[in-house]
Structure formats: C-alpha cells, structure tokens
Amino acid sequence: MTTIGAMDYEFRTARPEDTPAMEALDGSFTTRTIFHVAATEDGFALQEIPVDPPLHKAFPAEDSDADDDGLAAEEDPNSRTFVAVGPDGCLAGFAAVSYAPWNRRLAIEDIEVAPAHRSQGLGRALMAHAVDFARERGAGHIWLEVTNINAPAIHAYRRMGFTFCGLDTTLYDGTPSSGEQALYMSMPCP
C-alpha cells in the first residue's frame, strides 16, 4: 500500500480480472492549451497556445491499446502492466510498458489515471513502477508518444524528466485524431 496525498493506493502487476476496469477507465482530458507544432528545415518547433473554449478529448474505445484477452502481454517477460487500486477497491489508473532489448528502450505504451485520482501524484507513482521495471531489464532510456493537444500530460512528463526527441505529423491520419501530431519524448533510465 502506498500513500499519495490523503489516499492509500495498492500498486501491483495487473491481473486478468483487472481488464474490464482498465478498458472502462476514463482516459479523457480537458485542456486550456495545446502545443502548436511547426515543422522546420532543421526539425520542429513547439509553441504552447491557449484554446478557448477549453478542448475536451475522449479516446474512442477502439483506440485502446489493451490486448483482446486483457493481459496476453503479461506472458511476455519484457512487458508489464501496473495498476493502482484506490482505497475503495476500484482501479484508479494503470501503466502498460514494453521493453525492447535490441535498443534497450522501455516504451510507455499507455498510462491512464481516472479523473477523480488526478493531480495526486498517481501518474508519477505508476511511472516509478515503470522505471523500476526498466532498471530490472537494463533499459538505457524510457520513451513515449503523446498527442500535441494533450498539454496536461506533456507538462507532467516534463516534470518527470522527459524531453522531446521526435515528431510524426502523419501518425494519426485517417483516425479520429486526424490533424493532431505525435510528439515523442524520452529520458535516460534513472
């Protein structure tokens, strides 16, 4: 049991019975700013700009990265899903990660915290479990992808030590997120 703020959470590896709660978790966000991406001759430039009214984004169920049978990735020794369970016994958040030995990269495949549990350090605590797993595997760095409109997540990742390392302006083309750009962030494994 870990205490974050005024609430106690249990952190553990996901179990098959966690799958429905993980799939039902509200990963939406609301933001008053987004990161405008300008591709340049030498890379890209980001500028945080306000949006009015605030932008609300909900991810469609079909965009979920959860495995069809829930935790098939758990059979892979280089993949883990960590969950945070609140004092009420309900799933408060999760982080799914995978390690690639060829380049010693731990990828944060998905990290979500239920709205009622945000701004309490839960995302940071889940990321700490991912970092521990990265160390166990011998990762050299930790990597993730985030949409340019998810300013709250970008700010959180920066506070955790992630920096921008790449851009894909076409990753979301043909999806409900068309028009957004994928930003890649990484940090050395602490």
pLDDT tens, residue by residue, 61-97: 754 444 444 455 558 999 999 999 999 999 999 999 9
Please report how the helices 151-159 and 122-137 are oriented relative to each other, as an axis angle in degrees rounded to 10.
60
| Token pair listed for 24 | 């039902």
pLDDT at site 69: 42
> Residues 6 or more apart from 58 whose CB is under 8 A from it?
26, 27, 28
Per-residue pLDDT of 119-149, as tens digits, reads 999 999 999 999 999 999 999 999 999 999 9
CA distance linking residue 65 with residue 73, whole number of Å: 11
| CA-CA-CA-CA torsion sign (133, 136, 137, 140) | positive
Alpha carbon distances (Å) from 45 to 36, 51, 153, 156: 8, 18, 18, 19
User: For residue 8, which of 85, 81, 83, 82 has the smallest C-alpha distance?
Assistant: 85
**Helix (H) or strand (E) segment spanning residue 136:** helix 122-137
Tell me the pTM: 0.89
pLDDT tens-digit profile of 13-61?
A: 999 999 999 999 999 999 999 999 998 888 889 999 999 999 999 988 7
pLDDT of residue 2: 66
